Chains A and B, each alone.
Chain A
């Protein structure tokens, strides 16, 4: 696949935005390397790639929040340099963030004009603002009433308000960051309708997503990123979803090392018909069922935001089930508390260690107690066993190679990798029967990663059941006995890591379907 932007026969419409040779380095890692994208005016251009492919850094550069180390940006043919988002706005680039920046208690009008209010005397010219907003809304079919309170709006409507916000400030190029992540299918259709209208008025859309089926239905051109660089730029009609998935994921998957199966036929974790709904009524998990046996690692692959976090929280008792059941070693734990589940032998390595894994402002030995404060060696009845906890922390530090000057330092002083090693050591030390590991080696250096994998393998050999959730395919393939994929809250397909192809996995993860 070439990396040159494709040309349609005959016309050569102006290029709205061109990024050439963009490179951005952070200490120790290259986020973007020689990125080239040419976005033609009046088109919807999709940028696809997995988490960590470098999309967000690239967008921050385009929006003026970061400066590139190398490379240039050209808008409408003219080279530009952005030192802040204000510069980008002036150049007509508007960013619609994934997490909306809307004040619930203010009206649409107030949210849109904030910072750029039309005036009459010392007062705000509401009439002018209303007119302008209605005008934009009518022109682009956004169907927004300026006097609505944002709190009363649904997610799809709020997104349209964000779009209106950037249009109000004269944006000609819109960047949409994972816009469909929070929408239900009907709202997705509405959004795409809006995008087509915007396009018809000559605006340019840059659409970041990992959902290939949607991208294929709305984009005029698609650029694929992987590992910080642009891999291909293709036209939708020239490519299938499976091919696209392969581009995203890579043409080869890591080969799992041969090892003997330790899977027994003793079921440890049985999940049946699990469903979870979000406060605004969306089904974030829909009828999920699986079984993990002692000595088995079940890997769940999937791009972030498809229900993994909710699944983990539901299993741990942090989130309520709408329906379904969870059984641990034969006992129904669907309604038990987190504390009871932990005491029953559920270990938990959370995805966000700073929020759920450690107390940053507590010492290491105090963190060792966290989550295990009802059992030895941390506690004897209602009292803490500080000496026991300290001794055990020293053991964990030793066994799991946690690099730290002492066990009395605050957890915040440790690097992410060492914090994670401590967490893994802690959770393994509770003699768990099942371990829920959510992105266990994210943000962790290679050495720590290998160590954590070793510990999990050893535990697995000792009959531990593991639920492994990860976006790192190397980890998933290397560690799992079985791999399944989660997409939009449902599990799809069961694969053998030794034989699954990148096309299969990539397609399943991105919803590209089973076309050949």
Chain B
């Protein structure tokens, strides 16, 4: 719902760009104060960025982050905070990994196996977030609290299930425990890139499809229209015939289903099992990326790529004697400063608009005021 005038575009970009510049500056200061060289940091990161392997890994990480961001964004459009993406994706990844690695799956054709795995993950994610939705529409429990609780419960559930006595097995030659590894038939082939030992996740296309669907549903379908309207003004939506409770449940289910997909590229493209070291915390990164990308399908993609780059080039920092946490700090500062920047831009825009209206149409506004 944006004007596409150059001015609007500029204002729209001003906030994230400003935040980036500010965050970079602040981190440079932090580095200097702690006797590190910002120049060295940038150097190390950009050298790493040029290696094909880093590029591939960044793209892969970005794919995962993008899915998480879209899951969060679906909720945001309805003014719902699905903080539970984190718990949803891990539970979904674990359970679908168990299914995918199961012995009976090995006899099935590849396409079917992969589809079943993905669908299972979506169902688990949707069910887990559905619990929060149910609590909200029946008992008025804030989804913020319930999803935080469910996140923690999911963590414990996963650690319970990821046990040789139940769904998992020991990984020979290490302390790791994982679900039964998925053999070749259930894996998704990656794209080989010259010079890189890692491959691009095949499910990148799934992420792109999800992004496309996100854009399509929201802007081209009736359902998407009603969803956005409810988020913009609940009272106007009700007057226009929308059932808000239905919307809440549906959007939380969709958000949960997409959250379930978050672990799929990694699971089916490189890990091939869910183990103790499966990436965690992606749900919160999703929130950050959605914020930075302003819930826009392309904006979130750019933000996801940025985040992926930052994460993967940071690996080279420890070797150079610079704590890689500086990148995490930068990410945290970006999130905080971007929302503050959005707020400042919004206030500026509202004030400007009011001035315009006041100039041209003072009489009407006053009439409204007076007949209060």
Interface residues of A (CB under 8 A from B): 26-29, 31, 51-52, 54, 56-57, 316, 318, 337-343, 348, 350, 355-363, 366, 369-374, 379, 382-384, 386, 408-410, 412-413, 415-417, 442-445
Interface residues of B (CB under 8 A from A): 1, 3-4, 219-226, 228-229, 232-233, 235-236, 238-243, 353, 356-358, 360-372
Within the complex, the shortest CB–CB distance from B243 to chain A, in Å, comes to 7
Within the complex, the shortest CB–CB distance from B27 to chain A, in Å, comes to 34
Please tell me if the beta carbons of A382 and B241 are within 8 angstroms of each other in the complex.
no
Please tell me if the beta carbons of B221 and A410 are within 8 angstroms of each other in the complex.
no
Choice from A57, A341, A356, A408 contacting B3 with Cβ under 8 Å: A408
Please tell me if the beta carbons of B225 and A369 are within 8 angstroms of each other in the complex.
yes
Per the bound structure, the CA–CA distance linking A495 and B226 in Å amounts to: 42
Please tell me if the beta carbons of B233 and A359 are within 8 angstroms of each other in the complex.
yes
Please tell me if the beta carbons of A382 and B242 are within 8 angstroms of each other in the complex.
no
Please tell me if the beta carbons of B221 and A382 are within 8 angstroms of each other in the complex.
yes
Please tell me if the beta carbons of B236 and A357 are within 8 angstroms of each other in the complex.
yes
Max chain A CB contacts within 10 Å: which of B221, B357, B369, B370?
Answer: B370
Please tell me if the beta carbons of A339 and B243 are within 8 angstroms of each other in the complex.
yes
Per the bound structure, the CA–CA distance linking A477 and B356 in Å amounts to: 36
Chain B's closest residue to A348 (CB) is: B239
Per the bound structure, the CA–CA distance linking A416 and B232 in Å amounts to: 19
Please tell me if the beta carbons of A27 and B365 are within 8 angstroms of each other in the complex.
yes
Per the bound structure, the CA–CA distance linking A51 and B4 in Å amounts to: 42
Known A28-B363, A342-B241, A384-B225; 17 more pairs at CB < 8 Å: A26-B369, A27-B358, A27-B366, A28-B362, A28-B366, A29-B363, A52-B370, A318-B239, A350-B239, A355-B233, A359-B232, A359-B236, A360-B232, A373-B226, A384-B219, A415-B360, A417-B364
Choice from B219, B226, B241, B364 contacting A445 with Cβ under 8 Å: B364
Within the complex, the shortest CB–CB distance from A70 to chain B, in Å, comes to 17
Per the bound structure, the CA–CA distance linking A54 and B370 in Å amounts to: 7
Per the bound structure, the CA–CA distance linking A339 and B246 in Å amounts to: 13
Please tell me if the beta carbons of A371 and B241 are within 8 angstroms of each other in the complex.
yes
Please tell me if the beta carbons of A443 and B222 are within 8 angstroms of each other in the complex.
no
Within the complex, the shortest CB–CB distance from B179 to chain A, in Å, comes to 38
Please tell me if the beta carbons of A416 and B370 are within 8 angstroms of each other in the complex.
no
Please tell me if the beta carbons of A356 and B235 are within 8 angstroms of each other in the complex.
yes
In the complex, how many residue pairs between chain A and chain B have their CB atoms under 8 Å apart? 129
Per the bound structure, the CA–CA distance linking A382 and B226 in Å amounts to: 11
Chain B's closest residue to A24 (CB) is: B370
Please tell me if the beta carbons of A362 and B357 are within 8 angstroms of each other in the complex.
no
Please tell me if the beta carbons of B221 and A361 are within 8 angstroms of each other in the complex.
no
B370 CB contacts on chain A under 8 angstroms: 26, 29, 31, 52, 54, 57
Q: List 6 A-B contacts (CB under 8 A).
A: A27-B358, A29-B367, A357-B236, A363-B1, A371-B240, A372-B240
Per the bound structure, the CA–CA distance linking A341 and B360 in Å amounts to: 38
A357 CB contacts on chain B under 8 angstroms: 236, 239
Please tell me if the beta carbons of A358 and B236 are within 8 angstroms of each other in the complex.
yes
Please tell me if the beta carbons of A342 and B372 are within 8 angstroms of each other in the complex.
no
A371 CB contacts on chain B under 8 angstroms: 239-241
Within the complex, the shortest CB–CB distance from A51 to chain B, in Å, comes to 6
A417 CB contacts on chain B under 8 angstroms: 361, 364
Per the bound structure, the CA–CA distance linking A339 and B225 in Å amounts to: 14
Within the complex, the shortest CB–CB distance from B298 to chain A, in Å, comes to 18
B369 CB contacts on chain A under 8 angstroms: 26
Max chain A CB contacts within 10 Å: which of B233, B239, B358?
Answer: B239
Per the bound structure, the CA–CA distance linking A484 and B103 in Å amounts to: 77
Within the complex, the shortest CB–CB distance from B231 to chain A, in Å, comes to 10
Please tell me if the beta carbons of A26 and B366 are within 8 angstroms of each other in the complex.
yes
Per the bound structure, the CA–CA distance linking A402 and B241 in Å amounts to: 25
Please name the 5 residue pairs, one residue from A and one from B, whose CB atoms are nearest each other, closest first: A28-B363, A339-B241, A27-B362, A443-B368, A26-B366
Q: A339-B242, A366-B225, A370-B236 are in contact. Are A386 and B365 (CB under 8 A)?
A: no
Per the bound structure, the CA–CA distance linking A31 and B367 in Å amounts to: 9
Q: A316-B239, A338-B239, A417-B364 are in contact. Are A373 and B3 (CB under 8 A)?
A: no
Within the complex, the shortest CB–CB distance from A32 to chain B, in Å, comes to 9
B365 CB contacts on chain A under 8 angstroms: 27, 415-416
Chain A's closest residue to B350 (CB) is: A412
Chain B's closest residue to A50 (CB) is: B371
Per the bound structure, the CA–CA distance linking A369 and B228 in Å amounts to: 12
Within the complex, the shortest CB–CB distance from B358 to chain A, in Å, comes to 8
B223 CB contacts on chain A under 8 angstroms: 382
Per the bound structure, the CA–CA distance linking A52 and B372 in Å amounts to: 7
Please tell me if the beta carbons of A361 and B222 are within 8 angstroms of each other in the complex.
no
Per the bound structure, the CA–CA distance linking A374 and B371 in Å amounts to: 35
Please tell me if the beta carbons of A362 and B232 are within 8 angstroms of each other in the complex.
yes
A339 CB contacts on chain B under 8 angstroms: 241-243
Please tell me if the beta carbons of A410 and B239 are within 8 angstroms of each other in the complex.
no
Please tell me if the beta carbons of A370 and B362 are within 8 angstroms of each other in the complex.
no
Please tell me if the beta carbons of A412 and B353 are within 8 angstroms of each other in the complex.
yes
Q: A342-B240, A371-B240 are in contact. Are A443 and B363 (CB under 8 A)?
A: no
Q: A28-B362, A29-B363, A29-B367 are in contact. Are A373 and B222 (CB under 8 A)?
A: yes
B358 CB contacts on chain A under 8 angstroms: 27
A369 CB contacts on chain B under 8 angstroms: 225
Per the bound structure, the CA–CA distance linking A357 and B236 in Å amounts to: 6
Please tell me if the beta carbons of B367 and A355 are within 8 angstroms of each other in the complex.
no
A356 CB contacts on chain B under 8 angstroms: 235-236, 238-239
Please tell me if the beta carbons of B236 and A373 are within 8 angstroms of each other in the complex.
no
B356 CB contacts on chain A under 8 angstroms: 413
B236 CB contacts on chain A under 8 angstroms: 355-359, 370
Per the bound structure, the CA–CA distance linking A296 and B9 in Å amounts to: 49
Per the bound structure, the CA–CA distance linking A371 and B232 in Å amounts to: 14
Within the complex, the shortest CB–CB distance from A381 to chain B, in Å, comes to 8
Q: A318-B239, A339-B241, A410-B3 are in contact. Are A383 and B220 (CB under 8 A)?
A: yes
Please tell me if the beta carbons of A359 and B229 are within 8 angstroms of each other in the complex.
yes
Q: A356-B235, A361-B232, A383-B222 are in contact. Are A337 and B371 (CB under 8 A)?
A: no
B357 CB contacts on chain A under 8 angstroms: 413, 415
Within the complex, the shortest CB–CB distance from A361 to chain B, in Å, comes to 6
Chain B's closest residue to A316 (CB) is: B239
Within the complex, the shortest CB–CB distance from B349 to chain A, in Å, comes to 10
A342 CB contacts on chain B under 8 angstroms: 240-241
Choice from B222, B232, B353, B360 contacting A384 with Cβ under 8 Å: B222
Chain B's closest residue to A413 (CB) is: B353
A363 CB contacts on chain B under 8 angstroms: 1, 3
A444 CB contacts on chain B under 8 angstroms: 364, 367
Per the bound structure, the CA–CA distance linking A93 and B225 in Å amounts to: 51
Within the complex, the shortest CB–CB distance from B217 to chain A, in Å, comes to 9
B228 CB contacts on chain A under 8 angstroms: 362
Please tell me if the beta carbons of A443 and B232 are within 8 angstroms of each other in the complex.
no
Please tell me if the beta carbons of B220 and A384 are within 8 angstroms of each other in the complex.
yes
Per the bound structure, the CA–CA distance linking A51 and B242 in Å amounts to: 32
A445 CB contacts on chain B under 8 angstroms: 363-364, 367
Per the bound structure, the CA–CA distance linking A382 and B233 in Å amounts to: 22
